[in-house]
Structure 1
Amino acid sequence: MASGSHNGVSPVHHHPQYYLKDGNITFLVENTLFRVHRYFFDRESQFFVKEFAKAPQEGTSDSSAFRLDKVTTADFANFLWVWYSPSYRRGSQSKDHWLVILELSTTWQFPEIKKLAVDQLQNLDIEPIEKITTYDRYQIDRSLLLPAYKLLCKRAGRMSIEEGEQLKLHTVLGIQEARERAIRSAAEGGCRSPTSADADDEELEKILIDVFSLKGHSTNRQGAPPPAKPEPVPTIKTPKPGVNGATNGNGSSASGSVSKILQLSRVCCVAH
């Protein structure tokens, strides 16, 4: 974050909505000036508190505006919307709108706004793969992913190789293990030719909580990252040696491992 001269560049203009007469901090984003209330930034973000302390005079006028890099004018306006819009309008915003707010609140260390973004995303219909990758990227409480894990376990087809490569390896292995345990559970319950979709919902939740160690996360605040600890990786049986006694080495990439696991799963499924 740094101030910069506006001369000799594209013309600078005031944002039509967020250049406020009673604002007391000015930001420059691309070629647009925003004048808003510093109070929100001081109150909610240690990141901005530190930045303001480095250069006390910056942001006090248009000519000394704080320059915000790596953010677009539209995205910064979306972020400011959280403070300056009526609360009753929050439920009408799109997934992409809240994803922008989630990203910026994480980058700029606004924990309460991050929590708000997560709360709103929880109310939206998001595909399980996208939801899992998003929550992993922003270190959001994994216990909130239980419904997404369930959908992946209960859907008719296994995840594709392309889907698997979007996820972390421990997630792919965890879903595979949960599906296998769900099938065993359904078979033990008397279901003939069971699939993972035949498992009892409550039993499947117990399996997923165990596989992904979600119990320790259930009391965390939404949006807060869980305590740092190694993520448990579900174990899989070591492949039997081939005719010449050789087995796969450890030199393959993570995405290659995911592809092989998914391919092996499909072969096993066909064999049944």
Structure 2
Amino acid sequence: MAYLRQASASPVKHEQYFWDTVTFQVEQVLFKIPRYQLETSSEYFRSMFSGLSAVQLANIDRNPVKLEGITVVEFEPFLEVICPISPWEERTKSTEEWISILKLSTMWRFVHVRRLAIDILVGYHHIDACLKVSLGWEYSVPRWLRMGVYELAFREKTLSQRESQIIGYPLALHVSRVREQAEKNNGVLEFCSSTPAAQAEVETEFKSEFLQAEQNSATFDDPPTLGESYSPPYAVWYEPDPSNISVQLQFYPISCMPAYRGMSFEVSQLYLHFILSSIIVLSESRNCDVKSISVGAFSRDI
């Protein structure tokens, strides 16, 4: 190796494994970590360090960089991801910790860490509708924003004051408008239900929010799936005439459904059977006659 042949000469720094460090202050706590992870993964920190003089970098221990707008509790789990103390011993993190990681990775533009946080939260952590809307809007995750909006707009229960505070009153007002319009347009909301017209109402009401989330997401080079349109896994709509029930089922690939990621074919069939059985029982309880059920391109008369 070149490094061995230069044994008699002055030692040289390894190209990769000779890291400079940086000292940060978060609240009243100091952190000293390698600059390498920050400069190679974040355009925010690359810009920050390029703006510091050699003298400032040399004296950074005595004059640490203060990171505003975050807490020690948020910073610690983020550091566990980018600078793990024991890479071979991964600690299970809570939903709150992964949300902190999503927050900081979005704020500082750690693209790959952001994607990891989104994947983990989608795959392994329960996120209710309000949190989907809140996180989707604040951190530009279009899929979450759409999913949460549809769930809130077409569920049986109206938004509570606390839920309105969580998602913000402007978004809560949009949800209320969609619900009001859907109930006016020939229907009673039940079971996260919708019609194509109601879905169009959602897309129109939230057009600017969906577009802004998608545009912001694109700046992170997020995969297209983060911005894809969301349709409820199934939709049930009752017309005003109790003798007539229109049932519409809409399924997209099981792998796209966070709650059913990794579902086997057999389990997915049980899931489908459960939904169909529920609709039939529901229709019988209302003395309705279900004439046909459509699943994607498949239609079946009953």
Q: Report the TM-score, using the length of structure 2 for normalisation.
A: 0.51
Residue segments in structure 1 that go unaligned for 5+ positions in a row: 1-20, 188-193, 227-272
Distance apart, 1:159 and its partner CA: 0.9
In structure 2, the CA distance between the partners of 1:109 and 1:115, relative to structure 1 (3 Å rule), is: same
Distance 1:50 1:219 in 2: 25
- CA–CA distance in 1 between the matches of 2:64 and 2:213? 40
Provide the C-alpha distance between the structure 2 equivalents of 1:56 and 1:201, rounded to a whole number of angstroms. 62
Is the contact between residue 179 and residue 196 of structure 1 (CA under 8 Å) also seen in structure 2? no
**Partner of residue 173, structure 2:** 173
Aligned counterpart, 2:242: none
Q: Where do residues 239-250 of structure 1 align in structure 2 (5 Å cutoff)?
A: none
Match of 1:27, SS state, is: strand
Q: How does 1:33-72 map to 2 (within 5 A)?
A: 33-36=31-34, 38-53=35-50, 54-60=52-58, 63-64=61-62, 66-70=64-68, 71-72=70-71
SS in 1 for 2:109: coil
Shift of 1:95: 1.5
Residue 126 of structure 1: aligned partner: 127
Alpha-carbon shift at residue 107 of structure 1 (Å): 3.0
CA distance, structure 2, for counterparts of residue 215 and residue 32 of structure 1? 39
Q: Distance in 2 between matches of 1:197 and 1:210?
A: 22
Quick check: 1:24–1:60 contact (8 Å CA) kept in 2? no
Distance 1:28-1:146 versus aligned 2 partners, 3 A rule: closer
Instruction: Report the structure number with the largest CA radius of gyration.
Output: 2
Secondary structure of 2:159's counterpart equals coil
Is the Cα–Cα contact under 8 Å of residues 142 and 217 in structure 2 kept in the other structure?
A: no
Query: Sequence identity, in percent?
Result: 19
Q: Is contact 1:174–1:211 with CA below 8 Å preserved after alignment?
A: yes
Which residue is 1:142 aligned to?
142
> Do the aligned partners of residues 96 and 42 (structure 1) sit closer, same or farther apart at CA in structure 2, a change above 3 Å counting?
same
Q: TM-score, normalising length from structure 1?
A: 0.56
Once the two structures are TM-superposed, the CA of residue 104 in structure 1 deviates from its matched residue by: 1.9
Report the counterpart of residue 80 of structure 1 in structure 2: 79
1:183 Cα deviation after fit: 3.5
- Relative to 1, partners in 2 of residues 1:159 and 1:75: Cα closer, same or farther, differing over 3 Å? closer
Looking at structure 1, the residues matched to 190 and 148 of structure 2 have their Cα atoms a distance apart, in angstroms, of 15
Distance 1:46 1:130, change over 3 A: same
Q: Which has the higher contact order (CA 8 A, sep 6+)?
A: 1
Aligned pair count reads: 197
- 8 Å CA contact 1:99, 1:117 repeated in 2: yes
CA distance in 1, matches of 2:29, 2:214: 44
- CA distance in 1 between counterparts of 2:93 and 2:79 reads 14
Question: Does residue 97 of structure 1 match 2:101?
Answer: no
Unaligned ranges ≥5, structure 2? 1-16, 222-302
User: Secondary structure, in 3 states, of the residue corresponding to 1:197?
Assistant: coil
**Greater CA drift, 165-174 or 55-64:** 55-64
Tell me the CA shift for residue 158 of structure 1: 0.9
Question: Could you tell me how far 1:61 is from its partner in structure 2?
Answer: 7.4
Structure 1 CA distance, aligned partners of 2:60 and 2:213?
46
In structure 2, the CA distance between the partners of 1:175 and 1:225, relative to structure 1 (3 Å rule), is farther
- 1: CA distance between counterparts of 2:63 and 2:177? 54
In the alignment, is the contact (CA less than 8 A) between 1:128 and 1:152 conserved in 2? yes
Structure 1 CA distance for aligned equivalents of residues 180 and 88 of structure 2: 45
Partner residue, 1:107: 107
Amino acid at match of 2:137: D
Superimposed CA distance per residue, residues 179-238 of structure 1 (whole angstroms, 9 cap, x where no aligned partner): 234435663xxxxxx224373477654443343227757976858589xxxxxxxxxxxx
Kept after mapping to 1: 8 A contact 2:78/2:101: yes
Give 1:246's aligned residue.
Answer: none
Q: Which amino acid aligns with 1:116?
A: L
